[in-house]
Structure 1
């Protein structure tokens, strides 16, 4: 904890050298970025809703493959499913533009040589989220439905409602998509000098504990093998994050600049 506190103090002192903005300027900039992000989200939602039937087919496919029908208990359940599907699809479509607005908001507090990370940051963020969603859709979701419904529930008649299945689907897909953003989090912590590769390796046992705790919470299957399957890609991503931290930490970047000059 002392190392982390020292890193935070050093990052704050280092950033203090940058030209600052007043509180009102920060709030105005934040308002502008939020408004533009909402506009992009609305546009993405409108485009996605035009294809809501096709998007619904993607969500329904894991159940269709197992010949399990969906049921509804409320007249608005079908409409809510289409709206949630369109919102998720619109958020994915708008995500590069929203991420760019986030980058524009934080970029005034960064050095000029750090701003070159904008395109790698956006590409990696979207790519890692899609990789996590793909992993959840093709591996975790079908396996979870098969084990929970067809294996553990084989003596019973399954009645899956639209509301329950939608929540389950979003929990798996969004949960894994967010978990796969771990290298991006480490990237920013390292970029601002808060952590480095040595710190991450020194505390790897705590990282492993946290990863397995998160896996136990979000894993829809009750057996430890499935939990390990959930945790394995996050452990791999943590080690990738260690390599990222080694490359982008301020001390190493300054050493490369001095060597190049």
Structure 2
């Protein structure tokens, strides 16, 4: 394949000449680049957590009311539990706010090894990944966790009080938020797999029944209890995301074929 340089500084095979030099970094240079991206991410994450902690009191009151409205009265049995809750809460809010920057840093780490035309999706990737992650967190906050918590509190009677521990409750909440935030990245992952011809829409349709089984198993692993309600709350959005991902694979699989035909 010819690799002559055009007047625009791009190689005919689609590589950017300057960035192609970066793609040939040594192993130690890759480690140094990874260190830089991690440090940049930590700086922004710490800053966002610090700002969130500045507003710890309204956040604290909101979440105490949020957990209480779905049943039970929160309690804490350790002297520092209340303070640690405010710290953990600030960390979660800071992570959600910083997530677009974290996705950007992840992209910048892998970008040197990509074709020039593939680097053009940086803004769509960061936006879509951030939106999907936050959408998953929102779904967890508004639908998944309340449904789970109402089920747990449904056994409360006059003679049996539901007094959930603050640490355990928030720990479960964080797991649900992060789990669904990551699960909602499925269409993004399928987009890249389809672009690199790793999966196709036909492949995903043919293996649909296996995907359903995998979804149920994964939901059972994620959920803290084996009840049908909680399992359905996690399985339903995952199944919908899989169907959406089939559409993503079909759409961008066709685009990949058109691009390949144009290059020929």
Fold shared per TM-score above 0.5: yes
Give the equivalent residue in structure 1 for 2:27: 23
Q: Output the aligned Cα RMSD.
A: 2.3
**What does 1:80-91 correspond to in 2, within 5 Å?**
80-91=84-95
1:62-82 residue CA offsets vs partner (Å, 9 max, x unmatched): 333246332111111011101
Distance 1:226 1:90, change over 3 A: closer
Which portions of structure 1, spanning 4 or more consecutive aligned residues, are displaced by more than 3 angstroms?
219-223, 256-261
Distance 1:28 1:120, change over 3 A: same
Contact 2:72/2:161, CA 8 A, preserved across alignment: no
Give the equivalent residue in structure 2 for 1:4: none
TM-score normalized by structure 1? Answer: 0.84
Q: Flag structure 2 segments of 5+ consecutive residues without an equivalent.
A: 1-14
1:177-226 residue CA offsets vs partner (Å, 9 max, x unmatched): 22111112212222333222222222222111111111222235644354
TM-score normalized by structure 2? Answer: 0.83
Contact 1:197/1:246, CA 8 A, preserved across alignment: yes
Q: 1:167 aligns with which of 168, 171, 176?
A: 171
Which of structures 1 and 2 has the bigger CA Rg? 2
1:40-84 residue CA offsets vs partner (Å, 9 max, x unmatched): 111111111111122223322333324633211111101110110
Give the equivalent residue in structure 2 for 1:112: 116
User: Is structure 2 residue 73 aligned with structure 1 residue 69?
Assistant: yes
Output the CA distance in 2 between the equivalents of 1:87 and 1:59.
Answer: 14
Q: Flag structure 1 segments of 5+ consecutive residues without an equivalent.
A: 1-14
* More helix per residue: 1
Q: 2:149 aligns with which of 145, 151, 154?
A: 145
Greater relative contact order (Cα 8 A, min sep 6): structure 1 or 2? 1
